[in-house]
Amino acid sequence: MSRTGILLLVSGPSGSGKTTLCRRLADEKEAHYSISCTTRAPREGEVNGRDYHFLDRADFTDRIEAGDFLEHAEVHGNHYGTLKSEVRDYISKGADVVMDIDVQGAILVRACEDSDIQTALTELFVMPPSEEELRARLTGRGTDAEDVIALRMKNALDEMKHWPSYTYRLISSTREEDYLNFKSLVLAERLKISRLT
Ligand code: 5GP
């Protein structure tokens, strides 16, 4: 007996540690990391096709018109979108997919009528333990300017209000403990009867 894949949707404010969790799961070959498209500029060290598909606005619009996105949203003044091709083929073959998307994208995926997506979907919200800790993490990253940090702090507090819409919530602690909880969620989801084929 085999099963279809899990679509693990992970949201949470910048500084929650969600990207690190998703990346590690993919690095350990436990899931495919869905590489999003974005119109934002690459940060230092980011690689096109590994961290994101970096597109200009015209290319992004073309992709919308071609129907390539499962969902797309504007976040912090830039466009982000999940390609259908990063998700569908994987889950139908029984591979698990992890995607790191914002709360607006989560609303769109939740509303998606594709039954394969709905069977695959499980949602986790990752949040920092306190507002002070969030502020420290956003400042500590050291890659963004003051005004960017202030905007992210405001957005983070707004985003945090959405946690009750998710199936699971993880309040972040140490990296190792967070990953243990995260991996445990994946392992449990793999036992779900509704995905057996
Ligand atoms: P960053 O620019 O820091 O990499 O990401 C900013 C925000 O965009 C994060 O909350 C991240 O989860 C979200 N994001 C990344 N990819 C996507 C996507 O494909 N769709 C949506 N809706 N949000 C995304």
Confidence (pLDDT) at 151:
81
Confidence (pLDDT) at 14:
84
Top pLDDT among 131 and 88 is at 88
Confidence (pLDDT) at 111:
96
Rounded mean pLDDT, 171-176: 96
Closest to 138 measured CA to CA, from 126, 155, 124: 155
Confidence tier at 138 by pLDDT (50, 70, 90)? confident
Among 14, 71, 101, 163, say which to mutate for ligand 1: greatest number of ligand atoms within 8 Å of CB. Answer: 101
Closest to 182 measured CA to CA, from 119, 125, 121: 125
Rounded mean pLDDT, 154-175: 95
Residue with CA closest to ligand 1 atom 24: 101
Closest to 9 measured CA to CA, from 171, 190, 168, 179: 168
Per-domain boundaries in the chain: 7-195
- 98 pLDDT higher than 70: yes
- 74 pLDDT higher than 80: yes
Residue with CA closest to ligand 1 atom 6: 75
Confidence (pLDDT) at 155:
86
Confidence (pLDDT) at 77:
86
Confidence tier at 94 by pLDDT (50, 70, 90)? very high
- 142 pLDDT higher than 70: no
At 42, phi and psi to the nearest 5?
-65, 140
Q: What is the DSSP string of 144-164?
A: S-HHHHHHHHHHHHHHHTTGG
Confidence (pLDDT) at 147:
86
Confidence (pLDDT) at 148:
80
Cα–Cα distances (Å) from 101 to 4, 82, 88, 120, in that order, read 21, 8, 16, 16
Side-by-side strand order, sheet with 69-75: 53-54, 37-38, 78-83, 69-75
- 166 pLDDT higher than 90: yes
Q: Is 5 close to ligand 1, i.e. is its CB under 6 Å away?
A: no
What's the fold here for domain 7-195? Rossmann fold (3.40.50)
Question: How far is 61 from 81, CA to CA, in rounded Å?
Answer: 11
